[in-house]
Structure 1
Amino acid sequence: MRGAAAAAGPAVTVLGECVADAFTEQTPDGEELSLRVLPGGGPANTAVALARLGTPTRFRGRISDDVFGGLFRTRLAASGVDVSGCVSAAEPSTLAVADLDARGHATYSFHAEGAADWQWTAEELAAAAPGDSVCLHTGSLALVREPGGRRVEDHLAAVRERTTVSIDPNVRPLLVPPGAYRARLARWCALTDVLRLSEDDLGHLMPGASPEAACDAWHEAGARLVVITLGGRGALASLDGTRVRVPSAPAVVVDTVGAGDSFTAGLLHALARLGRLGGRLDALTAEETAVSCAYAARVAAATCAVPGADPPWADDVGAFR
């Protein structure tokens, strides 16, 4: 595996969707449009990035038996992700058509009705339990789309006694109304230890609120560590109300696809290396939070420097110290 670090340390389980990201390419005469399809999906991107950094990573998803499902499995396995616990699903894969603006920011249109990712059953989730993993990360569409979303919530409640929980809401307003996220966010905060979201997510979840006010509200609801990424302005991390500001890492931005997912992976990788995962983050300090977020920013910057959601390998960004 190119650039792979030897997987070491405690394992992290990632649960959620795989998405076929289709990037549009138009002919000069404007009469033809082609699609370049790359494997994506927020949770799958996070799993790939974690494994490439050297964290033993297990992905638990409902992967379709269609042509896109084969693409997903190949990418995950080639990055060192354990996919043995994935469900082989008869339903189709989710397709997202991405349109990049001049700054490399993507907007998506989704083709997701009846897709495999949202059909979790209680029995499938019980079989996907994280076992001896120290952390279960989830979020994005699998946590909010029905019928599976409520069952994923129940799964988090069942495993959190022995496992750190991490959630990235990754709001997709074109597919799910932001009000649906807002209605369930307090429940998610009560279940999670780490809440990582973007500035765009903040605008959808608490319109008009400052990052600091949002952190306070989510701490009150139960989240111990809240990290809000702010694009080129870095990130704000709040550990039980103690604030840490982390600058962004230098990068030549090709596009920002997968940057937030890579940040989450870098953060969880660092916390695992520090031995802070496996419980409620009781021993985590503000200084450790700062160095972990600084490393995560480096991982995100490396992802921005290449097209699509293609996270760096360990030797691209260096080991976490």
Structure 2
Amino acid sequence: MGYAVVLGEALVDLLDTEYAGEPVYRQAVGGGPLNVAVAVARLGGAVQFVGSLGDDVLAGRIRDFLTGAGVGLAGAVTFPVPTTLAVATFAGPEPDFRFYGEPPSYGLLGPDDLDTDLVAGADVVYCGSIVLLQPPVLAAARRAWSAAGGLRVFDPNVRPRLLDGPAALAGLRETVAEFAGSAHLVKLSTADAELLYPGEPVEGVATYLRELGAATVVVTLGPDGAVVAAAGADPVRVPAPRVRAVDATGAGDSVMGALVADLLVDGEPTDPADWHRRVAFALRVAGLVCEAPGGAVAMPTRAEVLRRFAG
């Protein structure tokens, strides 16, 4: 079995909560791509994280966490800046993130910092998330995308707070179209779809991205499961298992992680039914993540998923 490369951000989340009746922030290693990388590793896949990190104590904790989770850091580059903080508050189904730290520690990887041999040797290359709003990392991601010798997977993972007006949204829409057009798999959430393509039903968004050139598109629907649009078939809704959800942080990332882990084991599916089966397993992974607090720390092993959803 080969390995995956995950290019994106790693940062520290401060999660709004309470302790002894007082508001406090719980610290957690975070970043959508970091969650994806950890999910791949926990499910038995070999994976390398590619991105920029700061040089402070928090960056050390990120490195230690990734190493402890079995994620390689051969493509991680250190810069002399403090680690970006993502402050998360919870008022609705999706957490509201505000980001603190200039320059962003996750946004400094440039094309010359990229280990193209590491990328070219990977069976799966993931790009996406908020790093694509940073010009240096967007250039590095484009270089990784063109250097990729294996399967290319993409997740826009939109954060509205980082989009400064209609022009920024239009620019992101162009970037999404660019990467989706040559992707083997695109995964996005309902929230991503609504922001990028307002008023369009999720099946229509999935079909549109396939028409741009994406081989397969998966749109996650939270507790309602996911829409899967694979070659040779109309979009299909795959239901999610019923779970006792306590924290949805990282659930969508775990879906991508599970799909990447399966791509490493079995390669690209040859028929829609295989995609539906794999997405059903990925939704069980996400269900288990929702039953535990914390994003990356909640990523389960394959044995834990099979045990939880036996039968």
8 Å CA contact retained: 1:227, 1:238: yes
Corresponding position of 1:316:
304
Corresponding position of 1:291:
277
- Counterpart-to-counterpart distance in 2, 1:58 and 1:151: 16
8 Å CA contact retained: 2:119, 2:144: no
- Among 27, 35, 49, the alignment partner of 2:25 is 35
Report the secondary structure of 1:187's partner residue: helix
- Among 153, 156, 160, the alignment partner of 2:142 is 153
Report the secondary structure of 1:61's partner residue: strand
Matched, 1:74 2:64: yes
Matched, 1:216 2:207: yes
Matched, 1:199 2:187: no
Report the secondary structure of 2:274's partner residue: helix
Gaps of 5+ in 1: 1-8, 277-282
In the TM superposition, what whole-angstrom CA distance separates every residue of 1:138-163 from its partner, at most 9, and x where no partner exists?
2101122223223312321232xx21
What's the RMSD between the two structures over aligned residues? 2.2
Corresponding position of 1:115:
104
The more displaced of 211-220 and 163-172 is 211-220
Amino acid at match of 1:305: E
Residues 37 and 220 (structure 1), Cα distance of their counterparts in 2 relative to 1, 3 Å cut = same
- Among 123, 143, 163, the alignment partner of 2:132 is 143
Corresponding position of 2:237:
245
Equivalent residue runs for 1:91-130 within 5 Å: 91-101=81-91, 105-127=94-116, 129-130=118-119
The more displaced of 138-147 and 295-304 is 138-147
- Counterpart-to-counterpart distance in 2, 1:206 and 1:244: 19
8 Å CA contact retained: 1:20, 1:68: yes
Q: How far does residue 291 in structure 1 lie from its aligned partner after superposition?
A: 0.8
The more displaced of 265-274 and 216-225 is 265-274
Q: How far does residue 305 in structure 1 lie from its aligned partner after superposition?
A: 0.6
Corresponding position of 1:175:
162
Report the secondary structure of 1:130's partner residue: helix
Task: Count residues with an aligned counterpart.
Answer: 302
Q: How far does residue 204 in structure 1 lie from its aligned partner after superposition?
A: 0.5
Identity of aligned residues (%): 32
Q: TM-score, normalised by structure 1?
A: 0.88
Corresponding position of 2:181:
190
Report the secondary structure of 1:268's partner residue: helix
Amino acid at match of 1:50: V
Corresponding position of 1:279:
none
In the TM superposition, what whole-angstrom CA distance separates every residue of 1:241-271 from its partner, at most 9, and x where no partner exists?
6223211022111111000000101112123
8 Å CA contact retained: 1:190, 1:222: yes
- Counterpart-to-counterpart distance in 2, 1:318 and 1:46: 19
